[in-house]
Structure 1
Amino acid sequence: MSVGDLLTHVFFLLLLIIISGFFSISEISLAASRKIKLRLLANEGNAKAQEVLALQENPGNFFTVIQIGQNAVAIMAGIVGESALSPYVATLVSVIYNGPMLGTWSFLLSFLLVTASFVMFSDLIPKRLAMARPEKQAMAVVKPMKFCMLVFAPLVWLFSSMANLILRLMRVPQVREEEITGDDIVALAEAGAQGGGVLQQEQYMIRNVFEMDSRIVPSAMTPRESIVYFSLNETEENIRQKIAEFPHGKFPVCQDTLDHVIGYVDSKDILPRILQGKDLSLRTAPIVRKVLVLPDTLTLFEALEQFRAAKEDFSLVVNEYALVVGLLSLQDVMSTVMGDLVGSLQEEWIVKRDDHSWLMDGMTPIEEVMAALTIKEFEGFENNYETMAGFIMYKLRKVPRPTDFVLYEGYKFEVVDIDNYRIDQVLVTRHEEEK
């Protein structure tokens, strides 16, 4: 056989490798292309991105063409590949070996050469290229693939019809579900943060935004025992003293006790009266405003909606017995999302002492504990408690005393300070064995 025949065979094999590589890129790029990115490109006027989206909606004919093309190429390569190269390989091998096994060795070497070429250049490299930039590759091949679908339309119709019939008999869904959940978005944000495309603070905020629909009001409110309020009989001296000691923006006003709320006063209404030397009596001065009252069963997202509807940023929280259990402000809600960017004047729930110990406030929301300790789930959390103090009481089944502790998920939660039966401080340390 002449050199011209060898070049013809090599050219034909290279052409088959290129065709097979094209089908490999087409297959992986369409499957790996992200609909979110394609929709953004389509919204910017990219017609090819819209065509790729249309193929993703109905990929059956597309993948049928790919399978027809890849199998046809494989068959043709098998027919002409090894047999065409074997004589030339035999000529080269005969230089070092010219025995009875020459034909067998020549065939095996030809087979390995052709197979390795197809695996490397028509499968591995094209698929890696497609995985690296799937949207770009998909838009590059969409026009040629649509042409192939038109050329092979009869075969596509035949095979697609048979495949659809079989899948219907098997009751297998033929359309890929593309529902995007909050967990998916949070996972994308975490992946972006790890890759450097999203700032850590941005990822933290995105995660917290989606937690608002699962966290209830008690996880962010100021508890009852920490509420500073005025009574209607409050003297001017007491009012001045409380404002000086607790520089809050708003104060509830009660008849006698916290469970008989009349409304609230804003510091912006009181301070001008102090500067002007006017009377500060809450009975005679019409500065008491109507207060927003929220049930303690609302989620933070629902509370945010209530603030928006009422055009307020301050509310009292009551339980099912109409007893005030806490105070919630818009700043409290936003601090769960923004973290240190909002509420920087508030005390930190969790203070990290070193890599193996943390000092936590008893009222620390369990969600904050989960994030700090990377614990996926707390036993009984959904229906029994919202705070660190609630978790310890739930596990101990009693009102704890100092030095009482709970071992859970490799951590030791020890009560270090109690204030009138309220768990004030908890020391958390890593523990080797869970009890």
Structure 2
Amino acid sequence: MDDSSGPLWALIFFVLFIIINGVLYGFGSAVQKVSESEIEKKAKEEGDKKSAWLLKAMNHPVPIVNTILTTATLLSILTGYIGIRGISPYVYEGCLQAVRFIGIEIPSQVVMTVSIILVVVFALILLVSLGVVSAKKIFSSNPESWVYRTAGIVRFFAGLFRPLTFIILKLSNGVVRLFGVDPHQHEDQVTEEEIISMVDDAHEKGVIEENEAEMIQNIMEFSETEAQDIMTHRKNINAIEENTALQTALEFMLDNSNSRYPVYREDIDHIVGILHLKDAMRQMSDPECKELPIKRIPNLVREASYIPETRNINELFKAMQAKKIHMTIVVDEYGQTSGLVTMEDILEEIVGNILDEYDEEEQFIHVQTDDSLIMEGFTPLEQVDEVLGSDFDETEEFDTLNGYLTSMLGHVPNMAEDKEIRTKGYLFTILAVENNTIQKVRVEKLPEEEKGEETCQDIQNSQT
């Protein structure tokens, strides 16, 4: 074998192909990270031709993507050919000498096959690691700089392979149509999960603040949230009976610091309207109305609106805006009152808790001097997770600590039984039960040897 067939030319072309492959893949990765507004500014205001081409490539990425795929495929084929044609004979000679030196009888054809496989695998590893993975990371470290440096090379290959990419595109469109798919339909470029992942990544790197990341995630989840997820439960509704005197009703409203209150007949399942604080105060200027039941005062109680538990809050928000409604009643499938939703509840799903000068932020968790915690039964499981560093909020069946612990007990809690619950490395001791719900719980961390236990133990029975 003469020098003209030596491995030098093969190595030169091999390195060249890796560089070209790296430029194309690196450009494809970097161009997604540059600011389109900055490129547009340079193209239109400064008249930069390279920026104008980049802007066109960003707005119409299909030709660039096709160029990258076509060139990368062609380079892979050529790399394999060069490896087999220019390098594998020398690897074969080396393997053959090694086999003879060891003294093993192996057919030369087998040695040649092994040599070719080794060369192709080695070439593939170098091509992917250097020409794809490393190139993407290098270009992404300073995307704008690399995009401008390599735009000319990519543009050259885009023009060079335009006839080939045109044929490939038409052929692929024809195949796609055979399966009844429109080749021109556009899929979503970025999924919701990808956006949330990018937000989390940006937050971890300090690019955006925690409250900003939380707000973006809330917006993404907004359209999937239902009224039952954000409503004030019926047990926590402050409502007024329709036979209540106006003065008494006004005193009740002022004590609770809300501006609107449901008005019910006999019980909370028969809500007949909404009473506004402004309307009540306006009627108080008439001495004859002070002692009248609110139901007998004309136009005082406004008509209530009702929605099912499953109403999407995105649609609800638009409907309440259109009808200028600030409070709506949530009913279950049997027509009974489940709770109520206000415009403020919906907005809080995006921006977080909204407190005015009269609101006091609820403290569900209280730290004790002995490092134990006293938690309210209605502590949201999300807050329990934040404090204990556990995963109580994994289940979608319960929203509060009361719901979770009641499920663990398997029955309605009863103080006479004095239950304690061991779960997820913590001891929960029930301190107060009222209206069939757990009101207060002491939480203590279990010793390491007891952390694997999950039990609901009757303290009273265990002592006897």
TM-score (norm 2): 0.65
Worse overlay, 317-326 or 361-370 = 361-370
Residues 1:293 and 2:280 aligned together: no
Q: Does the 8 Å CA contact 1:30/1:135 hold for their aligned counterparts?
A: no
Distance of aligned partners of 1:340 and 1:164 in 2 relative to their CA distance in 1, 3 Å threshold: closer
Match of 1:50 in 2: 56
Q: 1:17, 1:212 → 2: CA distance?
A: 51
What amino acid does structure 2 have at the position aligned with 1:34?
Answer: Q
2:406 paired residue among 393, 400, 404:
393
Equivalenced residue count is 389
Match of 1:146 in 2: 155
1:262 paired residue among 247, 272, 275:
272
Distance of aligned partners of 1:310 and 1:55 in 2 relative to their CA distance in 1, 3 Å threshold: closer
Give the share of equivalent positions with the same residue, in percent. 19
Deviation of 1:204 after TM superposition, in Å, equals 1.4
Match of 2:106 in 1: none
Q: 1:309-351, CA deviations, whole angstroms, 9 ceiling, x for partnerless residues?
A: 4321101221122111222211122223322445682543643
Match of 1:87 in 2: none
2:201 paired residue among 182, 186, 191:
191
Match of 1:324 in 2: 337
Secondary structure of 1:433's aligned partner? coil
Match of 2:367 in 1: 353
Q: 2:28, 2:170 → 1: CA distance?
A: 21
Q: Does the 8 Å CA contact 1:23/1:70 hold for their aligned counterparts?
A: no
Q: 1:408, 1:39 → 2: CA distance?
A: 52
Q: 2:386, 2:313 → 1: CA distance?
A: 18
Where does structure 2 lack aligned partners over 5 or more consecutive residues?
Answer: 1-7, 44-51, 88-122, 177-182, 455-464
Q: Does the 8 Å CA contact 2:250/2:277 hold for their aligned counterparts?
A: no
Distance of aligned partners of 1:18 and 1:322 in 2 relative to their CA distance in 1, 3 Å threshold: same
Secondary structure of 1:59's aligned partner? helix
Secondary structure of 1:184's aligned partner? helix
Match of 2:320 in 1: 307
Secondary structure of 1:148's aligned partner? helix
Distance of aligned partners of 1:160 and 1:318 in 2 relative to their CA distance in 1, 3 Å threshold: closer
Deviation of 1:358 after TM superposition, in Å, equals 5.6
Worse overlay, 259-268 or 342-351 = 342-351
Q: Does the 8 Å CA contact 1:18/1:122 hold for their aligned counterparts?
A: no
Q: 1:66, 1:193 → 2: CA distance?
A: 34
Q: 1:197-252, CA deviations, whole angstroms, 9 ceiling, x for partnerless residues?
A: 21111111222233334443333222222222222221244223312321211111
1:375 paired residue among 391, 396, 399:
391
Q: 1:106-162, CA deviations, whole angstroms, 9 ceiling, x for partnerless residues?
A: xxxxxxxxx9xx999988975542121346534543442232244356887899999
Q: 1:341-376, CA deviations, whole angstroms, 9 ceiling, x for partnerless residues?
A: 45682543643639x866544334445555664628
Distance of aligned partners of 1:182 and 1:27 in 2 relative to their CA distance in 1, 3 Å threshold: closer
Q: Does the 8 Å CA contact 2:344/2:354 hold for their aligned counterparts?
A: no
Match of 1:102 in 2: none
Distance of aligned partners of 1:253 and 1:121 in 2 relative to their CA distance in 1, 3 Å threshold: closer
Q: Does the 8 Å CA contact 1:208/1:336 hold for their aligned counterparts?
A: yes
Q: Does the 8 Å CA contact 2:29/2:140 hold for their aligned counterparts?
A: no
Q: Does the 8 Å CA contact 2:364/2:379 hold for their aligned counterparts?
A: yes
Q: 2:392, 2:152 → 1: CA distance?
A: 47
TM-score (norm 1): 0.69
Residues 1:25 and 2:23 aligned together: yes
Match of 2:92 in 1: none
Q: Does the 8 Å CA contact 1:264/1:290 hold for their aligned counterparts?
A: yes
1:227 paired residue among 219, 237, 244:
237
1:418 paired residue among 422, 425, 433:
433
